[in-house]
Structure 1
Amino acid sequence: MSDRPSDEPDPDRLEALEKRLAEAKAARAPKPRVDTKAAQANLAWRMVIEMVSGLGIGFGIGYGLDVLIGTQPWMMLLFTILGLVAGVRVMLRSAEEMNKERPAANAADEEGR
């Protein structure tokens, strides 16, 4: 006979039951849904902001130097062009980063199916 009273639950059986319940809940849990249109819109806005901020910073530095040196509009034009180039480079780097993440996300999506 057992040394436990019959009305006490078996801890090993309870632990096994909790484990099976957790596995069943995990199997039935809905997978997180990624809204790809919203993610793409966020990336597009990020690229636009990077481009405009490069232009704005270049314009500001050029205008400031023009006022200090008195070479209007040459520094403003030069630094606006440099800001545009910097903005395009950052935007291309973001696009490259996005393209590296996309295959990884697609592979994870296919594994989940």
Structure 2
Amino acid sequence: MTDPDQAERLAQLEARINRLKAKDAPKSHQEEHYSQANLAWRMVIELVAGLLIGFGIGYGLDSLFGTLPIFLVLFTLLGLAAGVKTMMRSAAELQEKNMAGTASDNAPEKGADERAKNGD
């Protein structure tokens, strides 16, 4: 049978192998960090998509009913409002994600700050 030292060394070797494998493993799509330009484009696309959808609905209703561009203007403004709302929701989501990441990064530093305040 195996002695305890050999079993301990085997467990340490397995842990080391798993750490090295995890380091080289490909990251999932959610774990990738996006640049600020990608986030800005996402928000611009959300705003423009809301405008275009509102414009399309308004134009379609005006063509269907044969009216002046009343629906076009109305639904374009509603599309703008929907785009801004979606854009603001995305910004809040990104801010929450950044705050959560910052809080976890600064957690060890809080202890050092509190020790400095107490004079330890």
TM-score by length of 1: 0.71
**How many residues are aligned here?**
102
1 CA distance for matches of 2:55 and 2:69? 10
CA distance in 2, matches of 1:96, 1:43: 12
User: CA 1:20 to 1:112, structure 2 compared with 1: closer, same or farther past 3 Å?
Assistant: farther
Offset of 1:35 from its aligned partner? 7.4
Q: Which structure's CA Rg is the greater one?
A: 1
- Residues 96 and 50 from structure 1, CA distance in 2 versus in 1: closer, same or farther, beyond 3 angstroms? same
5+ residue gaps in structure 1?
Answer: 5-9
Distance (whole Å) between structure 2 residues aligned to residue 21 and residue 77 of structure 1: 69
Aligned partner of 2:7 among 15, 19, 33:
15
For residue 35 of structure 2, the aligned residue among 36, 39, 42 is: 39
* TM-score, length-scaled by structure 2: 0.67
Distance (whole Å) between structure 1 residues aligned to residue 16 and residue 54 of structure 2 = 58
Q: State percent identity of aligned pairs.
A: 47
Deviations 1:38-73 (A, max 9, x none): 332222121111101100000000000000011131
